[in-house]
Structure 1
Amino acid sequence: MLLRPTRALIALLILWTLMGLAGSLHSGVSVGWGILGGALAFLALLDALVAFVFKLPLAERTLPGRMAAGVEGEVKLRIINLSDRPIHVGVFDGIPSRCECDVFPWRGWIKRSGYLDLNYPITLSKRGEVSFGKTHILMTSLLGFWSRFVKIGDHGKVKVYPNYQPVLSYALMAMAHRQEHTGIIRKNRAGLSRDFHQLRDYQMGDSLSQIDWKASSKRQSLISRDFQEQLDQSVILMLDCGRRMRIIDGEISQFDHCLNSMLLISYVALRQGDQVGILSFGGTDRWLPPVKGTSSMTTVLNHLYDYETSPFPSDFSEAAERLLRHQQRRSMVVV
């Protein structure tokens, strides 16, 4: 807790000094100058003591449960005045260094036994778990001679996820049945898997293994089994966390571009019934076993949000060996 002289006290001291210079030329002024100096010192000392007696305000901060990198969110801050007099304060919340926020410093009055609600927008540019420090308060003393600097409230943390907006845009297009805008074209690829699709009439060129003899005997005509491309596949996404991924491409790094692409691939794969697993290499060795279902997108997000690059080079041979140890089932691997 620090005390700082205000501009009012500095102005009075300058005025008192100028009176002292004038008093050196006129002996009659020196007595009044000394009395005035003593009174000013007494009032300044008394004001400093009173500043330490008054109760400190309280700070309550409410952070959102999660935020997206580069997307504006709102933080709620409440300053509660516990004293029986109005106080003039300067407020600067303990916001992270890499963020955009134009609200602070805020200055104003808080009525006695009242509170101030300060809800401010903030944009965080760094993914991962971001910390908020204590709230900085600059309180003006009763006579206005001093400013008392204190830190109140608690530290806070919020999870910042990659920007999920492109995936949401895809979801909106899919719900509107406009898959042609996403580049997805559905084609039947017969004979490439053994996933049964439907029964149909026999066509010239069908192999004998396709004929369903039981159904044919019932209908007294040849019936063939139709197969569709296997949907329940395992998609393994390998994420390079090596130092070369730190290169800036546009406004964000290549690493963040890869994360955004992985989110989109994960969403498409989970939506069509495939399993998605994630393996990282290049200094960050983490493994997410394959998960399935659209509800598993939350699991993927929670796994990816705090990934960071490392200063180490990437070893693709070692990464392939790790993948074979973790995933022995046939899978499609995306690097």
Structure 2
Amino acid sequence: MLDLLKRLYLLKGVYIGFGVIICLFVISFFVPVLYDLVWILLWLFLIAILSDIMALFLGNNKIVAERTLPERLSNGDENPIKIAVQNKYTFSIDCQIIDEIPFQFQKRDFTIKQRIKSNEKQNFQYALIPKKRGVYQFGKLNIFVNSPLKLVAKRYTFSDKQNLACYPSFIQMQKYDLIAFSKNKFAFGLKKIRKIGQTTEFEQIKEYVIGDDIRTINWKATAKRNELMVNQFLDENTENVYCILDKGRTMQMPFNGMTLLDYAINSTLALSNVIIKKNDRIGMMTFSNKVENKILAENKKSHLTKIIEQLYSIETNFKESDFGLIYNQIKYNITHRSLIILYTNFESLSNLNRQLKYLRAIAKSHLLLVVFFENTELTKLANKKALNTDHIFDKVIAEKFNFEKRLIVNELTKYGIMSVLTKPDELSINTINKYLEIKAKGKL
């Protein structure tokens, strides 16, 4: 009985019905002839409520539902959540599906309303876009089923609480994996770069995949296996690449709900996958007031998993970054000439000048690529039409800061340091383009 009361909900029709009956009782005080009729109406209404309750509560498992979650969430991407609901009642139902979404999304009014016919199964899907790495807890799946007369509702509860880890964007990684090795790269934003020279040192025979050079098809092996096989050659320029992520306060700036650091983390994962597929070795470090998450450059298939776990576990208090510290780490731990990709952010030329001596020192022993960000809000402000003197003042200030960003690029170029100035949402594609350009031109 207690369980029934916990799952029973009176709908608006019940309160309206009782309100009407009370009004009729008041009227019958002045019109006595209505008194008996109102009592009959009351009993009929109570019988209707009871029949509605019996229709909903007689029998077990009249509603079957299941929520399907992905194995893990991808940060900054749409993650599909699937719900399947089956109606085993002998009548059609109007139901309200309320999924207890993790608190990080701040969706307190999420609901799906649907009519489901008798013995019908319907599938629903919605998407969630997480903005932070970490653990997300899904609560219970609640389904409120209205009675045939819509006087009462019954709550069904499914799925226990489930925890999902939100990892750096593996969806983006898979996307750029396909694009980087596609013949139609230009359509996706990747530049087509002609590679200078090609090695002829044989490594193995493998199955043909889209993107392989058809000139390397091994016709004898193809005839034996009855499927296309190609010769794979060792790349003559297998190099070390290190992604260095600045975890300092300048990387705390938000863009579309995510910090610049999380954009850099997503980009590092996508780039690492491409680097490994290009037979280069990838390593990483992070730094702010100390150096952490150190991984030496390797090219093993299992190495990407290690990088994913390190990127997932990155934590920071966004303190002031010590570039001298990361310079010392690079000097003593990366002994071979490598491509150093430094994800950081400089808002002004004076910010750069304070760290320039360390960047120049790194560039003496390694090929340094500094990746930093456009301030998109200032760009919008600079492009906005000025309507009054205040707008003109704001526009001039915004243009000044944007111009300083371009001066930073020029200053880095003057000392032989490559750079990528990019919008946060174009970070991965621009960084991958630059890496492919460096590799194709044999700059290392």
Matched letter for residue 126 of structure 1: K
Counterpart for residue 170 of structure 1: 180
CA displacement at 1:139 relative to structure 2 = 1.3
2:139–2:160 contact (8 Å) kept in structure 1: yes
CA distance in structure 2 between the aligned counterparts of 1:148 and 1:270, rounded to whole angstroms? 54
Tell me if structure 2 keeps the 8 A contact 1:281–1:314: no
| Distance change in 2, residues 1:307/1:314 (3 Å) | farther
Q: Following the alignment from structure 1 to structure 2, what is the Cα–Cα distance between the partners of residues 127 and 172?
A: 30
Secondary structure at 1:290's aligned position in 2? strand
1:255 aligns with 2:265: no
In the other structure, the counterpart of 1:37 is 42
Aligned to 1:118: 123
Aligned to 1:286: 293
1:121-160 matches, within 5 Å, as: 121-126=126-131, 128=133, 129-141=135-147, 143-156=149-162, 157=164, 159=166
CA shift digits 1:8-57 (9 cap, x unpaired): 32332232123123212112212332343244345435644664554242
Q: 2:69 aligns with which of 63, 69, 77?
A: 63
8 Å CA contact 1:134–1:151 kept in 2: the answer is: yes
* Per-residue deviation, 1:171: 2.8
Question: What amino acid sits opposite 1:300 in the alignment?
Answer: I
Q: Please, which runs of 5 or more residues in structure 2 have no aligned partner? A: 1-5, 202-234, 343-444
Q: For 1:17, what is the secondary structure of its paired residue?
A: helix
**Displacement of 1:259 after TM fit?**
2.4
Deviations 1:37-91 (A, max 9, x none): 2443454356446645542423222234456445445443222345565543222
Tell me, in whole angstroms, the C-alpha distance in 1 between the residues paired with 2:304 and 2:328: 24
Deviation at 1:264, TM superposition (A): 4.9
Structure 1 match to 2:191: 181
C-alpha distance in 2 between matches for 1:169 and 1:91: 38
Report how far residue 170 of structure 1 moved.
2.8
Q: TM-score with structure 2 length normalisation?
A: 0.52
Counterpart pick for 1:13 among 7, 10, 18: 18
The alignment status of 1:238 with 2:244, answered yes or no, reads: yes
Aligned to 1:191: none
Distance in 2, matches of 1:284 and 1:51, equals 62
Give secondary structure in 2 for the equivalent of 1:269: helix
Q: Secondary structure at the match of 2:317?
A: coil
Superposition deviation, residue 247 in structure 1: 0.5
Alignment partner, residue 276 of structure 2: 270
> How far apart, in 2, do the equivalents of 1:72 and 1:321 lie?
38
Q: Percent identity?
A: 17
Tell me, what secondary structure is at the counterpart of 2:269?
Answer: helix
Q: Residues 166, 269 of structure 1: CA spacing in aligned structure 2 closer, same or farther, 3 A cutoff?
A: closer
Match of 1:4 in 2: 9
- Does the CA contact (< 8 Å) of 2:132 and 2:258 recur in 1? no
Compute the displacement of 1:313 (Å).
0.8
Instruction: After TM superposition, give the deviation of residue 285 of structure 1 in Å.
Output: 4.2
5+ unaligned residues in a row in structure 1: which ranges? 189-196, 198-228
Give the root-mean-square deviation of aligned CA atoms.
4.4
CA-to-partner distance for each residue in 1:96-143, whole Å, 9 max, x for gaps? Answer: 56399x9941221241xx352314242524354544332221112354
- The alignment covers a number of residue pairs equal to 290
How far apart are the structure 2 equivalents of 1:18 and 1:260? 64
Greater strand fraction, Structure 1 or Structure 2: 1
Structure 2 CA distance, aligned partners of 1:118 and 1:52?
A: 24
Report if aligned partners of 1:4, 1:148 keep a CA contact under 8 Å in 2: yes
Secondary structure at the aligned position of 2:17 is classed as helix
Per-residue CA deviation, residues 250-275 of structure 1 (Å, 9 max, x unaligned), is 67431233224423542453244332
CA contact (8 A) 2:240 2:297 kept: yes
- Counterpart in 1 of 2:98? 92
**Residue deviations 1:199-225, cap 9 Å, x none?**
xxxxxxxxxxxxxxxxxxxxxxxxxxx
Tell me whether 15-24 or 114-123 shows the greater mean CA deviation.
114-123
- Is 1:108 the counterpart of 2:125? The answer is no
* Residues 79 and 264 of structure 1: CA distance in aligned 2, closer, same or farther (over 3 Å): closer
